[in-house]
Amino acid sequence: MSQIKNGNKKNVRLYKKVRNTTAWGPVALLFALLVFFNVLVVYMSGFVLEYIFESKFAEGYSQVESVAKMYEYGSDDESIMELIRSGDTAFVVTDKSGAVIYENGRNTCGTNSGVIKMSNGAEEYMVYQDSEAGFFYPKEDGTLGFKWKSIFKWAISLAMMSERETISESEEYSIINGVYVSFTDEASPDTERSLLPAVMQIESIQLPLWISADINGGEQQFIGRAYLGFNMRDNILACELITAVITVIFIIALVMTIYIIRTAVNYRRVVNLFYRDPVTEGHNWIWFVRNGEDKVRSIFTKRESFAVVNLVFRNYRNYCLCHSLADGEVLLADIDRVLLAEMRKNEMCAHATMSNFALLLHYDNDAALAARLRGMIMRLHGLGQGHSFEFQAGADTVLPQKEQDGRIVRRKDFSIEQAYNNACSARATLGKTEKSGVRIFDSSLLEAQRWDDTVREKQWSALNNEEFEVYYQPKFDPRTNTLRGAEALIRWNSPEYGFVTPGRFIPIFEKNGFITEIDHYMISHVARDQKSWLEAGYGCVPVSVNVSRAHFVENDLAEQIRDMVDRYDCPRELLEIELTESAFFDDKNAMISTIKKLKEYGFAVSMDDFGAGYSSLNSLKDMPLDALKLDADFFRGEGSGDRGEIVVAEAIKLAKNLNMRTVAEGVEEKSQVDFLAEQGCDMIQGFYYAKPMPKSEYAEKMSRQTNG
């Protein structure tokens, strides 16, 4: 059992591991990596861009510086000035206060829009944007910023450029929004350009900007227009490279994402497989335990009450025998389907084992739950179609747990397996007689279960420590009031549990098989006692010992009893065997042969509790018994009047006709004794004469009678 439980726990652990392996972790990691790479790419691009611009600025500075130098030395020399003016130069010369001293070309220097302080390592210089083609600007911290909006607009206007605005044949370039753009040779003037082809056909662009250079020992500033030239072929190559890298990253990300999603889907499938019952194709026990426990423990349901139910289809084995295992499994699947249809929100049903189903239902009160379960059983009967099916249900309730101050708390220690086990125990108490029924677990059942376990646990030590005592209840002849016999009855004198009567442990021993040990124990003790009393000179009378039906499965029972009695050298006629009526339902032939053997060996055999069951009359016909013990029920209660007397009288007559003695059990009244004496009952065993007593007391009684 514990192995199964451990196995189950192992499975649940494995399941948890599988279930918790979701795709979210790797997806998050992938996402984080993508973000990281993006940031890295952006940062690196910014860094590279800045580097490129700085070097371009430095280039621009040297262009401007050379013109500035020419101006510095040749401002008075008209031929030099002519030379300067003849080029496509534009510049402004200012004095220290910023006042313009000289201007050449169109002054589009954006001095108002801020200045970027740059350095080429040796000198520091200022950069101003061109007021017409301002694609960059000085940021507040003096570094370079890009006017993305202008760049975008510029790109659009380039794309929208109509034929009319195309390159004039005389010029090598077009000026678009202040930017000088030269096109490749393939660029046809009549090509209507869409954004991409137009961009693709650009050979280079020249961004104008203004750079200052100190002249005349810093007294004046020469601010000249320079062009930052960008060769688009290189840029396109760079763009293609970046596109390729991004594409590769994207493909890797896509493949990884697909892989992760597929793995996650497969995990889900494994989980579902793990939870699926192979017979019903519905949910299985592990699903029930896992989810049921979570549900009941959940913070959301802590105020709700639940019932954990064990529902059993009792005819499963027979059905499979009459039909086939496959038909039986189809039927189980149908049962599962019917039960599933009965489930309400937050309720669960699963196939547990064989023909057992586990349910988790809402609970209001015992009556409502029992009614609901009976309703379900009614509907399940409908599956029978000609067969009469039996279903039994047991339930254990799970109520909200409260703290001492009445606050409801989480049921963190709740175990659905324990609750289901309780439900099974409750169901088991219905036994075989209640065909279809419902039983709800209560604490008395738990007590019974605990006691059952305690008895099982203690039985061997109790036997070895001689805690079981033999009590003797005398049997008297009602006509002479003399002692004619006795019955040995067991008592458990437990140091822990006190004086325990057989009703509390004999049924447990009968269930667990320990009863055979008890029977041996009693026979040997009685044989030993009888022998010692004989030796003491008492007038011993036969003592009957109860032998359980469980014992009759042993073929050599008669021999065992004979040997035990002989071991103590006790005359066999001093020991009688009592068989309870229920024992007669077992293998009749084996029973007859054992009785015959016992009689052969010299033991008397009697039928105990005659009249308490059903077919004892029939058994009498074949069993060569010596005595009939009329059950105590004949002499109990109100109904034991005239009709009862007729039955008892006839039973005694019947026994006589079959050559059997009669013993009346449970006789407490004088009137009953008189009546029985009148009817010729041979012996009476009842409180009227004596209660079961310890060995010493019985011996004393015997000695008195012997001496008397």
Give the start-end residues of each E strand in 450-497. 468-477, 482-494
Q: Where are the alpha helices (DSSP H) in 110-219?
A: 148-160, 195-201
Instruction: Give the interface with Mg ion as residue ranges (CB under 5 A).
Output: 546, 578, 608-609, 665
Q: Is 311 in the site for ligand C2E (CB under 6 A)?
A: no
- If one asks whether residue 609 binds ligand C2E (CB under 6 A), the answer comes out as yes
Nearest approach in angstroms of CB 470 to ligand C2E is 8
Nearest to 361 by CA among 434, 419, 442: 419
- Are 158 and 181 within 8 A, CB to CB? yes
Contact flag: residue 519 with ligand C2E (CB under 6 A)? yes
Q: Which does 606 bind (CB under 5 to 8 A by kind): ligand C2E, Mg ion, none?
A: none
Cβ of residue 452: shortest distance to ligand C2E, in angstroms? 17
CB of 509 to ligand C2E, least distance (A): 8
- The torsion angle over the Cα atoms of residues 570, 572, 574 and 577, rounded to 10 degrees, is 120
Residues in 482-511 at the binding interface with ligand C2E, rule: CB under 6 A: 489-490, 501-503, 506
Of 127 and 470, CB closest to ligand C2E: 470
Under rule CB under 6 A, residue 467 binds ligand C2E:
no
Site size with ligand C2E, rule: CB under 6 A = 25
Nearer CB in complex with ligand C2E: 60/692: 692
CA separation for the pair 581, 680 (Å, rounded): 23
Residue 632 found at the interface with ligand C2E (CB under 6 A): yes
* Residue 687 interacting with ligand C2E (CB under 6 A): yes
| Closer residue to ligand C2E, CB minimum distance, 301 or 580 | 580
Which of Mg ion, ligand C2E, none lies near 503, with the C-beta cut-off 5 to 8 A by kind?
Answer: ligand C2E
Nearer Cβ to Mg ion, position 301 or 544?
544
For residue 130, the tally of other CB atoms under 10 A from its CB is: 22
CB burial of residue 706 (10 Å; 0-12, 13-18, 19+): middle
Interface map 651-670 toward ligand C2E (x if CB under 6 A): --------------xxxx--
Query: Could you tell which of Mg ion, ligand C2E, none binds residue 89, using a CB distance below 5 to 8 A set by kind?
Result: none
Residue 539 structure tokens: 């007038």
Please choose, out of 293-301, 351-359, 517-525, 652-660, the segment that lies near ligand C2E by the rule CB under 6 A: 517-525
Q: CA separation (Å) from 52 to 130, 144, 230, 242, 293?
A: 19, 12, 10, 16, 65
Residue 257 to residue 264: CA distance in whole angstroms: 10
Alpha helices in 601-658 (DSSP H): 616-622, 642-657
**Nearer to ligand C2E (CB atom), residue 207 or residue 486:** 486
Q: Which of 166, 280, 548, 619 binds ligand C2E (CB under 6 A)?
A: 548
Instruction: Indicate the Cα dihedral angle 590, 591, 592, 597, nearest 10°.
Output: 90
Cβ–Cβ < 8 Å for 338, 331: no
**At residue 145, what are phi and psi to the nearest 5 degrees?**
-125, 150
564 binds, among Mg ion, ligand C2E, none (CB under 5 to 8 A by kind): none
Q: What's the CA gap between 468 and 471, in Å, rounded? A: 10
Ramachandran category for residue 223: left, alpha or beta (phi over 0 → left; psi -120 to 50 → alpha): beta
Q: Which of 608, 628, 673, 702 binds ligand C2E (CB under 6 A)?
A: 608
**Which is nearer to Mg ion, 150 or 473 (by Cβ)?**
473
Shortest Å distance, C-beta 585 to Mg ion: 16
Q: In this complex, which beta carbon is closest to Mg ion, that of residue 173 or of residue 521? A: 521
Residue 277 in the binding site for ligand C2E (CB under 6 A): no
681-685 contacts at long range (C-beta below 8 A, 24 or more positions apart):
681/478, 681/630, 681/648, 681/652, 682/477, 682/484, 682/627, 683/475, 683/476, 683/477, 683/478, 683/484, 683/485, 684/475, 684/476, 684/477, 684/478, 685/473, 685/474, 685/475, 685/476, 685/487, 685/629
Under a CB-based contact definition with an 8 Å cutoff, are residues 531 and 568 in contact?
A: yes
* The amino acid at 43: Y
Nearer to ligand C2E, 211 or 577 (CB): 577
555 contact choice in Mg ion, ligand C2E, none (CB below 5 to 8 Å, kind-dependent): none
Which residue, 500 or 577, is less far from Mg ion as judged by CB?
577
Residues 6+ away with beta carbon under 8 Å from 451: 504, 508
Which listed residue (445, 522, 591, 660) binds ligand C2E by CB under 6 A? 522
Q: By C-beta, is 226 or 522 nearer to ligand C2E? A: 522
- Per CB under 6 A, residues contacting ligand C2E are 473, 489-490, 501-503, 506, 515, 518-519, 522, 546, 548, 580, 608-609, 632, 665-668, 685-687, 692
